[in-house]
Amino acid sequence: MKDKIESSLGPEIKAALENCCCIGSEGNRVGPAPMETTYVERMKNMLVNNITNFVEKLKPKPELSFEEIQKRIEVIIENYPYEEAAAIMKFRNHTWRGSTQSPSPSEIKTTIAMLLSQVLDAKKKGNESHSCGTGGFNAYLFPYGVRVSYAIVTKSSF
């Protein structure tokens, strides 16, 4: 890919890279840069690397299989900060319908597991994206992964 990008650099960029020079204290051109070849090569490599990284980020991410989504869901369930979420909910006095207390970490875990189960069912049915939520928690299925969030404050305008 780097060769392809290098060969596609326009003549202006190539000329600029090849004609780098030092500027004197009065703003006048005082000749070629002392590290002419290595400097030009470094600049060219930096430019090519930046373009390559940018192009890589634009490429669509591969869609994950049902099994890969299932593994990622297991990781979320094992590693979600339930205690932290419970503390935030308690601080905000966030209660669920029919309760006067904020949910416990185990109740939050049960809720998140239920939401992720819905996401997994959507994947099983062939959906590449899905979202669901309850009690301030949202679960999302994307072609390339899964996300769970606790919505403290959200606002959208489309």
> Do 70 and 26 fall within a single domain?
no
> Do 36 and 73 fall within a single domain?
no
> Do 25 and 54 fall within a single domain?
yes
> Do 51 and 12 fall within a single domain?
yes
> Do 98 and 145 fall within a single domain?
yes
Range of the domain at 72: 66-150
* 139 φ, ψ (degrees, to nearest 5): -120, 140
Q: Which two tokens stand for residue 98?
A: 């029919």
Question: Is residue 155 domain-resident?
Answer: no
> Do 78 and 100 fall within a single domain?
yes
Number of neighbours of residue 69 by Cβ within 10 angstroms: 23
**C-beta of residue 146 within 8 angstroms of C-beta of residue 73:** yes
pTM of this structure: 0.62
Q: What's at 4, amino acid-wise?
A: K
pLDDT of residue 35: 47
Residues 6+ apart with CB under 8 A from 151: 133, 136, 137, 138
Distance CA 135, CA 78 (A): 20
Question: Is residue 22 domain-resident?
Answer: yes
Question: Is residue 131 domain-resident?
Answer: yes
Work out the average pLDDT over 145-152: 91
**Per-residue pLDDT tens digits for 79-113:** 999 999 999 999 999 999 989 999 999 999 999 99
Structural element, H or E, at residue 26: none
> Do 19 and 42 fall within a single domain?
yes
> Do 126 and 78 fall within a single domain?
yes
> Do 54 and 74 fall within a single domain?
no
